[in-house]
Structure 1
Amino acid sequence: MHGTMAVVWPNKNGSNRAMYSAEYGLGVIVDQNRYLHSNNIVVVPEAIGSLVKLQFLDLSDNALEIVCPEIGRLRSLRHLRLANNQLKYLPAEVGDLRELQTLDISTNRLITLPERLHMCLSLQYLTADRNHLWYVPRHLCQLPSLNELSMAGNRLAFLPLDLGRSRELQYVYVDNNIHLKGLPSFLYNKVIGCSGFEFSYSNLTTKKPLGIAALSVGTLSPL
């Protein structure tokens, strides 16, 4: 005999909102997308690990401080949005999301990224803007499918040499990192993007018009 399991989240108005329904024992979810943004959610419960067929999860614009390790059980997950929360770290189990294609962790309080992130073999787009990151982990250069890396508005002081050797990586966004004084020559074959109005280079800050979306590194003097 099978039952139905439901996990509920508190809404802003104090009422409860069902997160998902699953057939007990089988973990069959009702649909493959969950939009749970803007709900003042503080904790992702361990029960989320039951959503084994989930492909899209949006938990942005909440008050998350912790993401439980059980999120690594979502082996079908392709898109994960955790932007605009209060996260200081991500669990290592994020690296178990082998089908993950996009990860948005912008506007949090992250000071580092999990080492096992390089095991997300399908990851194509990583957005980590506006955190407290001091460096780009070398293991990110091992991501075989990564096409776009955005780490604007952090505290980066240097970029790893291996970043220029990544074949799939085509777009790098590192503007508004006040400790990053220049762009190294090994990024000559990449497109350096500008995500905002200001781009700091060699102690100079220049204003860029809205129409400029990207700059070729070949137009800049390398270090």
Structure 2
Amino acid sequence: MAERLLVRALKGGESTKIITLSGKKISKMPSTLGKLTGLKTLNLQNNQISNMCPEIIFLTQLSLLNLGNNLLKEVPEEMKYLTSLKWLHLFGNQICSFASGTCDGLQNLILLNLNNNQLTRLPEEIGRLKSLMYLSLSYNKLTIIPIELCSLTDLSELNLNYNQLVCLPEEIRFLKKLRQLFLVSNNIEVLPEGICDLKQLRILDIAGNVIQIFPQGFQDLKLTEFYCEGNPLFLKLPVIAKQPKDIWTLREITARFIISKLEVEDPFLVQAIESYPEIKDKISQAKSCAICGNPFLSEWLECVQFVPPSKTWKTSKNLDLVPLRVLLCSHQCFDQRSPDLFGIVNE
């Protein structure tokens, strides 16, 4: 049956635009496909293909390739020659790696579906897919996300459900066009502060992780849907404890003094700090106290503040309050806190 379809297509020559050979028990990609140089769509899903034929590199007008549910073990190198490709489906294979140079020619790729594979890592080269808008990697074995993925500034939807992620890179803040982020059933403990910079984010699903608290500013996201069931979120369980006096290291005292002087643009310090890039970098990591607004470097009190979710959010059931991570510079500020802010202690 597959052979008859190909013969018919070959008679059509360059006028043939679509070939569908889904579920034909094909184990070897037909080399005659390379003669269909005008092909736009090639559907080979639900077969037993383990390798791509070299002749596919001649399909330079191909815009959609579906190799879902086959036996591929890597994203083939031949992909880099398919320079017109916009939609690439590789779900349901046995892919555990990318061949070298695969991403080089895929500058027009809009959608990449790698669901249900065996990926444990993504190559740094993933950042070369500059046109990518939809990336789906659910049901793999990913433990980390490379920083380079965060350079995909056109990305609108990112699906990382059912992996083994423990964290997300802070650089996620660069995904300014991201509208949907799915992180269901991973091992994520903390969301990066950078997620609060995603002003276009509308759907966030973090169900089934181990998140207890959210970064400050999280409540200002313009979400329409937010799901977090199955996370051990902090509850309002106040503990009364005697507050110790603030004892800071000399390093912390010096850092706070320098930072305060830099904030008022002390000319001597501004000029001097330029000669010490390591100190300048360290000071750039300073935070501000949520009560007094004063800066601090490494000595602080970690607290949790409970705020109601936005009325515009469609949320998980029984989510009445969202726990936010708040940092205070001293016990003196802690004594001046509002009633909805609690200190975090280790039992």
Q: Residue 106 of structure 1 contacts residue 127 of structure 1 at CA under 8 Å; is this kept in 2?
A: yes
C-alpha deviation, 1:22, in angstroms: 4.3
Q: Which has the larger radius of gyration?
A: 2
**What is the rounded CA distance, in whole Å, between the counterparts of 1:116 and 1:14 in structure 2?**
31
Task: Name the aligned partner's letter for residue 205 of structure 2.
Answer: C
Q: Give 2:110's aligned residue.
A: 101
Q: Residue 193 of structure 1 contacts residue 213 of structure 1 at CA under 8 Å; is this kept in 2?
A: no
Gaps in structure 2 of 5+ consecutive residues: 1-12, 14-20, 214-227, 232-312, 326-347
Q: TM-score, normalised by structure 1?
A: 0.78
**What is the rounded CA distance, in whole Å, between the counterparts of 2:50 and 2:110 in structure 1?**
25
- The question of 1:221 aligning with 2:323 is answered yes
- The question of 1:206 aligning with 2:229 is answered yes
C-alpha deviation, 1:147, in angstroms: 1.2
**What is the rounded CA distance, in whole Å, between the counterparts of 1:135 and 1:73 in structure 2?**
28
Give the structure with the higher percent helix: 2
CA RMSD of aligned residues (A): 3.2
Change (3 A) 1:135 1:105: same
Runs of 4+ more than 4 Å apart:
11-20, 212-215
Q: Give 2:121's aligned residue.
A: 112
C-alpha deviation, 1:173, in angstroms: 1.2
Percent of pairs identical after alignment?
26
- The question of 1:193 aligning with 2:212 is answered no
- The question of 1:129 aligning with 2:138 is answered yes
Change (3 A) 1:15 1:172: closer
Deviates more, 1:71-80 or 1:37-46: 37-46
Change (3 A) 1:207 1:102: same
Q: What secondary structure sits across from 1:188 in the alignment?
A: helix
Change (3 A) 1:19 1:170: farther
**Which of 157, 160, 171 matches 1:162?**
171
- The question of 1:50 aligning with 2:58 is answered yes
Structure of higher RCO (CA pairs closer than 8 Å, 6+ residues apart): 1
- Listed one character per residue, the Cα deviations across residues 131-166 of structure 1 (whole Å, up to 9, x for unaligned) are 111111100111121111111111111110110232
* Matched residues, number: 204
**What is the rounded CA distance, in whole Å, between the counterparts of 1:40 and 1:213 in structure 2?**
42
Q: TM-score, normalised by structure 2?
A: 0.52
Gaps in structure 1 of 5+ consecutive residues: none
Q: Residue 92 of structure 1 contacts residue 117 of structure 1 at CA under 8 Å; is this kept in 2?
A: no
